[in-house]
Amino acid sequence: MLLEFSQPLEYTGLANWFDTTLGSWSLPVKLILVAVALLAAYAIIAMILIYVERKITAFFQARIGPNRVGKYGILQSVADVIKILLKEIIHINNVDKFLFFAAPFFMVVASMLTFGAIPFGKALQAVDFNIGVLYVTAVSSLGIIGVLLAGWSSNNKYSMIGAMRSGAQFVSYELSAGFALMTIVVLTGTMSFSEMIAKQEFCWNIFNGHISSIIAFVIYLISGHAETNRGPFDLPEAESELTAGYHTEYSGLQFGFFYLAEYLNMFIIASIATTVFLGGWMPIQIHGFDGFNQVMWYIPSYAWFFGKTGVLIFLSLWVRWSFPRLRIDQLLNLEWKYLLPINLVNILVMVILVIAGLTLTDLFPILAS
Amino acid sequence: MSSLSLFLVVLITGLVLVIAGLGIAILLAPTSFNLQKGEPYECGIPTHGTSWMQFKVGYYLYAILYLMFDVEAIFLFPWATIVRDLGVQGLYSIVFFIVILGLGLAYAWKKGVLKWM
């Protein structure tokens, strides 16, 4: 076991793991296994997140939260899923039927495609593209098509206003998120998630590029939070003015899919921030303390990943319940007049740091892995 | 296995999730007919007119601005991976590029595009 860790690590995808362990099985079986694993992870993570959010929210508001179904209400989300499956899908008059039907597909498929590219642990990644970061920014913005379709096809004023707000907001903050990730691409010189994690063994990216990285991290958290329509940025579904925003007219499982995608997006933002800035599934490693490092490797990599992601999700919930909702002009000003210019300057600062050799791994080459 | 085939698997998984879910829901869920169910959701009075109408132009201006910067991002990503190899030369050319785009943002700002009315 220890010998294995002293060898250079192999960063392989889930599919390659199937290749080696199930070498004799036929290709379709392996692909179906990948699909089943993804589906299970998708559903289970969404259910856990919904329970965790309700419970933490309750504590923030000095309530008890769900506590009837199962011990401490653990089975509450299971009950909710069964309930939502048994709800009638109501057909609304005067909607654009095809687009109304198509909208949940965009939401779920966009989050699923992004979900597939996340490295959950050592060799636990469905699709490992060499352009991972670009792929994630591209694919996750498909979701906004679903939101706009839902809002427009519903033929309802609440939906329309909600969708337009959501569109403007998502499109604006998408830029900041992309540029913040680009800052780290400048630092690491790779867009592949697995290579990025490999380079962070002794020095996480957030420390490696010190000033610039920390600014990028904060900007990514803010814009990621805004992209998921949560917290102080939840104007698209501001319940006091727009009832439920773009999914007002949806009922039953179609509404459930929007709900599912929203929670998954929160998880995806947190996990990409973990992967890109906080070392992903890599355990905490301190150069020179070999005994400590080996002990850390005994904690499974997915535990590290979910631990770091969980901290970020908790941070997002904390923000959500601490700040009042912004107005649409304040929201757009924050992005276009503050975050975007800061981001552009920040990229240049990072380039100078990299070229002048002022990053931590350049200054202390023993930290580079 | 290539990344592309896995990408297709993930895509199909997403589609199957929605289709299977909706199929199960349609099979299991009870249905009942009621004329009022089909009406658009409103505050209590019948909704007035259609919602497919002209909409505030402010949102589209932001969308156009977004387009400009998103295309910029596509150009910058390949450059970002090879900053170390390009060295100072790469810095000069990209400063030029970013300054021109920054001027575009400054122009829009000056023209009042970023002001919500």
Query: For A178-200, how does the pLDDT look when each residue is reduced to its tens digit (9 = 90+)?
Result: 999 999 998 888 888 888 888 88
B54 lies in a domain?
yes
ipTM: 0.87
**Dist. CA A33–CA A41, nearest whole Å:** 12
Domain count for chain B: 1
B89 lies in a domain?
yes
Nearest to B1 among A15, A115, A129 (CB): A15
Indicate which CATH number applies to the domain containing B57. Answer: 1.20.58
B115 lies in a domain?
no
Residue A352, pLDDT > 50, answer yes
State pLDDT tens for residues A149-168: 888 888 888 888 888 888 88
Residue B26 sits in which domain range?
3-110
pLDDT band at residue A342, thresholds of 50, 70 and 90? Answer: very high
Average pLDDT, chain A: 83
User: Token pair for residue A289?
Assistant: 């303390």
pLDDT at site A272: 92
pLDDT at site A3: 31
* CB-CB neighbours of B18 under 10 Å: 22
pLDDT at site A10: 41
pLDDT band at residue A11, thresholds of 50, 70 and 90? Answer: very low
Q: What angle do CA A266, A264, A343 make, to 5 degrees?
A: 35
What residues of chain A, 222 to 261, have a C-beta less than 8 Å from chain B? 243, 248-249, 252-254, 256-257
B117 lies in a domain?
no
B116 lies in a domain?
no
- Which residues in chain A are contacts of B52 at CB distance < 8 A? 152, 155
Nearest to B84 among A109, A333, A354 (CB): A354
Instruction: Count CA within 13 A, CB hemisphere, residue A318.
Output: 8
Residue of A36, A80, A127, A329 to mutate, interface with B, max B Cβ within 10 Å: A127
State pLDDT tens for residues B64-117: 888 888 888 888 888 888 888 888 888 888 888 888 888 888 888 888 877 777
State pLDDT tens for residues A15-56: 556 556 666 667 777 778 888 888 888 889 988 998 998 999
State pLDDT tens for residues B37-69: 877 777 777 777 777 878 878 788 888 888 888
B86 lies in a domain?
yes
What residues of chain B, 21 to 50, have a C-beta less than 8 Å from chain A? 21-22, 24-26, 28-32, 37-42, 47, 50
Average pLDDT, chain B: 83
E strand or H helix that includes residue A342: helix A340-355
Closest of A8, A20, A339, A368 to residue A183, by C-alpha = A339
B21 lies in a domain?
yes
Name the range with the highest mean pLDDT among A265-269, A291-295, A365-369, B80-84. A265-269
B60 lies in a domain?
yes
Residue A12, pLDDT > 60, answer no
pLDDT at site A218: 92
C-alpha separations of A149 from A63, A113, A160, A251 in Å: 37, 19, 9, 16
**Dist. CA A11–CA B31, nearest whole Å:** 51
